[in-house]
Amino acid sequence: MSVQTTSAPIEKPPVTEVGVIGWLRANLFNSPFNSVLTIACFALIVYILQAILPWALFKAVWSGTPKDCQVEGVGACWAVVSEKNRFTLFGRYTYDEQWRPAVAILLFLGLIGLSCFRRFWGKALIWAWVSQVFIWAILMWGGVLGLKFVSHEQWGGLPLTLMMSVVAIVVAYPIGIVLALGRRSDMPVARSLCVAYIELIRGVPLISVLFMASVMIPLFFPEGVTVDKLLRAQIGFTMFLAAYLAEVVRAGLQAIPKGQYEAADALGLGYWAKMRLIVLPQALRLVIPPMVNSFISTFKDTSLVIIIGLVDLLNAGKIAVNDPPWRSFYVEMYVYIALIYFAFCFTMSKFSQRLERDLSKATSR
Amino acid sequence: MTDRRSGATAVTEKPKTAFWNDRDVRAVIFQILIVLGVLAVGWYLVHNTLANLEQRKIATGFSFLGREAGFSIGESLIPYSAADTYLHAIWVGIINTLLVSVIGIALATVLGTVIGVARLSTNWLVARLASVYVEGLRNIPLLLQLFFWYSLVSEALPPVRQALKLVPDYVFLSQKGLRVPHIVDHAIYGWMGLLVLVGIIGAFLWRRAAARHQEATGKLRPVFWPTVGLLIGPAALLWLVTGAPLTLEKPELRGFDFRGGGTLSPEMIALLIGLVTYTASFIAENVRAGILSVPKGQWEASRALGLPNGRALRLIILPQALRVIVPPMTSQYLNLTKNSSLAVAIGYPDLVSILNTTINQTGQGIEGVALIMAAYLTVSLSISAFMNWYNKRIALIER
């Protein structure tokens, strides 16, 4: 009887289980059905790429005149984007002054960037957002500090889109909180008014709210008072958003354990002190991710102002390709605008997902 | 909160406080102030509005509904001409809105479910493709997508004379939309419809009997094939017995347009593609969340019972996932219905588009907006009532 003294040599795992092949087997070909699916998907991807890539990249025209694009056999005409870029981004804003909306956009991007880091979260950030609204007003309107005055009828493009969403959020946010508190209040009159408002607005499409704002607001004010088209759209937009934010906040309020209310009562705090110091800070923190989602939909929804004739980003792009020589290149323009919207929305949505994970980690510990 | 406080007052003697410090008195005063404020603002607005209307010589009231509309509508399920009344035009709009919403909801549910399940696929490529779809579509404004589809349908497709022959001689696709054959009505179709109705009742009774039989004896009776048979069997039999009457009115190219057959207009196609693909990306996320919410142990348990995958999904997983899926699905259905109002931007004559024309012609903005709101509220409330009923039916019954 012999005793084995040396241990068996360590066998490498079979090549079919590790590395690229192993990964392929585990993820793409782990059953006959999946193999068929993989091949079908692969064929689909190849088909789409061979249809799109030559058009979008290899045969595309990157700069030049419409004539360069109308040559037989060329692909996408990205020249339309570079040619019309300034109109698309800034609308009819005075051409020489367009650095001002550009600065305003950069400022906004910077502030968004800061807001993404939780270490900057605090009172200062809120004030930064509020003061940003004023800085925007100065930059966009001008007329002070030696800046030339530019009427808001000339505003357009990306700054208009950003501004409408930011103003709507900043103004609708407190209104939404008041509505949510009202909806959960035990005063029947206040509660039913809030419920009626929220349900009425949420039950109808945004377009009808915008129509209402544009048709009815002029009737509401005494003779001689004219409310500008932009302001009317902004009011309609804010009213709409407030109703949706109210529901988001209500969800947060409902999630606060009853004990927190009772503890605040036990401390002898009044209603407003209880809400301001105990309940709202916790509730609002809980609903930050859905609030970011609200912000994303608001950003996308601003495109609807095209229907009452404001020149936002989408409308500016549409007007730009109405120029007869460039008319046949609408697809390129739509793709460009879609990419801008996508960049904003996708970043915010990824941010909100990360936040959701972080916050749930913090609470589940 | 109310009951807690009344409970407390029942136990302890109410402490004596000055009336302005009493919570109940304060609440009453506060509410009176709210009512007064709302009334004051309301009176101010109504007063201004009436003054403005009088000054602009706009009559109030709904009498304009009876007047001749005078505009034509591109497509309509019911007969309509420009000589008809505004009321009739609005009715056409409501039907168009409902048509797009119902088709859209059905298609978006199917597409969304497929993509939601695909995102959970163990196949890496399938899951990736599904996420690209979801992230791509939901981060771009719907209106932009609608413009895109509409341009594509109305400009990139060939003109009528070179229409794409999807099914040669029967289905054509061109800038003027999709042209399909039309089934010529026949006397027995009404009877066939009646038989299908009877079949539905029969299938319902069979399923109930089968369930009872299973509860009593534990034996499964076949359900699926008898249901299918009962649903279409009698009608199909009648159709065959009467000599299978089927006359298709083929669309034919005459001059500059097709004659005969039915049409799906470019506006309708663009609106449907846009609404369905956009909403499906949201529905997919709801479906994914719903399926993920079912604990893994449920899959394992159903496998341990020896259930095949399909039946495990249908009997164990889906009923539980639906509880999570249905409430957000309701909001997606409502969103789709409300979003169909974007039709106004691409010229599909839905309710909002027709009322917008009406407002522009008559100047009766208040009535027009009120009608839009009333119509959408009715639709929204009916959808949520139905979905709430369904939700209650499938909700967890805890014993």
Tokens of A123: 């009172």
Distance from CA of A3 to the nearest CA of B (A): 44
pLDDT for A39-80, tens place per residue? 888 899 999 898 888 888 887 778 777 777 777 777 778 878
User: Residue B253 phi/psi, 5° resolution?
Assistant: -80, 115
Pick from A30, A216, A345: CB nearest B139 = A345
Same domain membership, residue A161 and residue A141 = no
- How many independent structural domains does chain A possess? 2
Q: How many Å apart are CA A284 and CA A41, to the nearest integer?
A: 43
- Reading the block at residue A288, the tokens are 């930050």
| Contact (CB, 8 A) for A147 and A100 | yes
- Convert the pLDDT of each residue in B255-300 to its tens digit: 667 776 677 888 999 999 999 999 999 999 999 988 888 888 998 9
Cβ neighbours around B243 below 10 Å, total: 8
Distance CA A30, CA A28 (A): 6
Contact criterion met (CB < 8 Å) for A212 and B369: yes
What is the pLDDT, as a whole number, of residue B281? 94
Q: Which residue on chain A is closest to B42 by alpha carbon?
A: A220
**B7 to chain A, minimum CA–CA distance in Å?**
14
The answer on pLDDT for B112 being more than 90 is: yes
Residue B4 predicted with pLDDT over 50: no
Measured between beta carbons, which residues in chain A are less than 8 angstroms from residue B366?
215-216, 219
Count how many pairs of residues, chain A against chain B, have C-beta atoms within 8 Å: 158
Residues in chain A within 8 Å Cβ distance of B148 = 331, 334, 338
Residue pLDDT, tens place only, B84-98: 888 888 999 999 999
CB contact under 8 A, B52 and A330: no
Give residue B256's pLDDT: 67
More confident position, B107 or A144: B107
Chain B residues in contact with A189 by the CB 8 A cut-off are 31, 34-35
Minimal CA separation from A119 to chain B, in Å: 27
Task: Flag if B345 and A190 touch (Cβ within 8 Å).
Answer: no
For an interface test with A, give the residue of B33, B140, B278, B331 to mutate (most A CBs within 10 A).
B140
- If one compares A258 and A143, the residue with the highest pLDDT of the two is A258
Is residue A144 domain-shared with residue A196, that is, in the same domain? no
CB contact under 8 A, A314 and B356: no
Tell me how far apart the alpha carbons of residues B370 and B355 are, in angstroms, rounded to a whole number: 10
Residue A28 counted as domain residue: no
Domain boundary residue among A123, A155, A187? A155
Report whether B137 contacts B144 (CB < 8 A): no
- Are residues A205 and A127 part of one domain? no
Helix (H, G, I), strand (E, B) or coil at B236: helix
Q: Looking at the predicted structure, is the pLDDT value of residue B183 above 80?
A: no
CA distance B337 to B98: 8
Residues of B in contact with A342 (CB under 8 A): 136, 139-140
Q: Domain for residue A21, yes or no? A: no
Residue pair A247/A177 in contact (Cβ under 8 Å)? The answer is: no
Q: Which residues of A279-293 are buried (b: 16+ CB within 10 A; e: fewer)?
A: bbeebbebbbbbbbb
Whether A168 and A262 share a structural domain: yes
Tokens describing residue B268: 């309708």
Any idea what the CATH number is for the domain that residue A249 is in? Answer: 1.10.3720.10
Residue A8 falls within a domain, yes or no? no
Q: How many helices (H) and strands (E) does chain B have?
A: 14, 8
| A290 and A186 within one domain | yes
- Cβ of B139 within 8 Å of Cβ of A342? The answer is yes
Residue A130: is its pLDDT beyond 90? no
Runs of H (alpha helix) within B170-315: 187-217, 224-241, 266-292, 296-304, 309-312
Tell me how far apart the alpha carbons of residues B355 and B362 are, in angstroms, rounded to a whole number.
10
For residue A350 the two structure tokens come to 């990824």
Q: State which of A171-180, A207-216, B190-199, B381-390 shows the largest mean pLDDT.
A: A171-180
Kindly state whether residue A77 falls inside one of the protein's structural domains.
Answer: no
Both tokens assigned to A222: 């005494």
Q: What is the DSSP string of B131-200?
A: HHHHHHHHTS-HHHHHHHHHHIIIIISPPGGG-EEEETTTEEEETTEEEE-EEPP-HHHHHHHHHHHHHH
Q: What is the three-class DSSP state of B70? A: coil
Residues of the domain holding A170: 157-357
Could you tell me if A262 and A334 lie in one domain?
A: yes
Q: Any idea which residue has 């056999």 for tokens? A: A73
Pick the residue of B143, B362, B381 with the most A CBs within 10 A to test the interface with A by mutation. Answer: B143
Mean pLDDT of chain B: 83
Task: Say whether A166 sits in a helix, a strand or coil.
Answer: helix
Rounded distance, CA B107 to CA B340, Å?
14
* A-chain residue closest to B338, CA distance: A205
For residue A101, what are the contacts with CB-CB under 8 A and spacing of at least 6? A89, A90, A93, A139, A140, A155, A157, A158, A159
For residues A262 and A117, membership in a common domain is answered with no
By C-alpha distance, the chain B residue nearest A332 is: B148
- Tokens 């993404």 identify what position? A116
Chain A residues in contact with B121 (beta carbon < 8 A): 34, 37
CA distance A79 to A61: 6
Range of lowest pLDDT (A93-97, A209-213, A245-249): A93-97
Q: Is the pLDDT of residue B7 over 50?
A: no
Nearest residue, CB atoms, A205 vs list B123, B341, B345:
B341
CB contact under 8 A, B376 and A186: no
A255 touches chain B (CB under 8 A): no
Q: Among the listed ranges A67-71, B11-15, B234-238, B305-309, which one has the minimum average pLDDT value?
A: B11-15
Q: Which residue in this structure is represented by tokens 């009321």? A: B87
What ipTM describes this predicted complex?
0.86
- At B391 the pLDDT is 79
- Among A211-225, B98-112, B133-147, B270-284, the range scoring the smallest mean pLDDT is A211-225
**Cβ pair B134, B281 in contact under 8 A:** yes
**Neighboring chain B residues of A38 at a CB cutoff of 8 Å:** 123, 125-126
Whole-number average pLDDT of chain A: 84
Q: Choose the closest CB to A207 out of B34, B51, B341.
A: B341
Question: What amino acid occupies position A257?
Answer: P
Nearest chain A alpha carbon to B27: A187
Q: Among B113, B143, B100, which Cα is nearest to B336's?
A: B100
The Cα A333–Cα A321 span in angstroms is 7
**What is the mean predicted confidence (pLDDT) over A137-147?**
81
Tell me if A152 sits within 8 A of A140, measured CB to CB. Answer: yes
pLDDT of residue A359: 76
CB B84 within 8 A of CB B69: yes
Q: Do A187 and B31 touch (CB under 8 A)?
A: yes
Contact predicate B206/B223, CB 8 Å: yes
Q: Answer yes or no: do A103 and A251 share one domain.
A: no
Between A314 and B62, whose confidence is greater?
A: A314
Number of residues written out for chain B: 399
Q: What is the mean pLDDT of residues B350-377?
A: 86
**Which residues 16-35 of chain A have a CB within 8 Å of chain B?**
27-28, 30, 34
Contact B143 A205 (CB under 8 A): no
* Cβ-based contacts of A346 with chain B (< 8 Å): 135, 139
Give the pLDDT of residue B129: 92
Note the pLDDT of residue B143: 94
Q: Which residue, of A127, A155, A183, is where some domain finishes? A: A155
Q: Does residue A353 form part of some domain? A: yes
Q: Do B365 and A208 touch (CB under 8 A)?
A: no
Contact B55 A223 (CB under 8 A): yes
Does residue A320 share a domain with residue A304? yes
Q: In whole angstroms, what separates CA A85 from the centre of its chain? A: 21
CA angle A344, A350, A352 (to 5 degrees): 100
Point out the residue among A41, A188, A307 whose CB comes nearest to the CB of B344.
Answer: A307
Give helix then strand counts, H and E, for chain A.
Answer: 16, 0
Q: In chain B, which residues have their Cβ closer than 8 Å to the Cβ of A203?
A: 373, 376-377, 380-381
The mean per-residue pLDDT over the stretch B358-386 comes to 85
Does A120 share its domain with A235? no
End-to-end CA distance of chain A, in Å? 58
* A142 domain residue, yes or no: yes
- Closest CA–CA distance from residue B85 to any residue of chain A (Å): 22
Nearest to B388 by CA among B338, B330, B348, B308: B330
* In a shared domain, residues A106 and A220: no
Residue of B340, B353, B383 lying closest to B100 (CA atoms): B340
b/e string for A236-251 if b means 16 or more Cβ within 10 A?
bbbbbbbbbbbbbbbe
A266, burial (CB in 10 Å: exposed 0-12, middle 13-18, buried 19+) = exposed
- CA nearest neighbour of A81 among A96, A66, A102: A66
Dist CA B333 CA B352 (whole Å): 18
Please name the residue that has the structure tokens 């399938």. B126
Q: Which domain-ending residue is among A155, A182, A208? A: A155
Section B196-213 average pLDDT: 88
Residues of A in contact with B285 (CB under 8 A): none
**Confidence tier at B5 by pLDDT (50, 70, 90):** very low
- Segment (H or E) for A87: helix A79-90
Answer whether residue A213 shows pLDDT above 80.
Answer: yes
For A273, the 3-state DSSP assignment is helix
Contacts of A54 by beta carbon, 8 Å cutoff, 6+ apart: A75
Tell me which chain B residue has its CA closest to the CA of residue A38. B125
Across the interface, which of B34, B38, B122 has its CB nearest the CB of A30? B122
% of chain B exceeding 70 in pLDDT? 93
Residue A66 lies in a domain: no
Q: Which residues of A touch B2 (CB under 8 A)?
A: 186
CB contact under 8 A, B352 and A200: no
Residue A350: closest C-alpha in chain B: B135
What is the model's pTM? 0.84
Domain co-membership, A139 together with A184: no
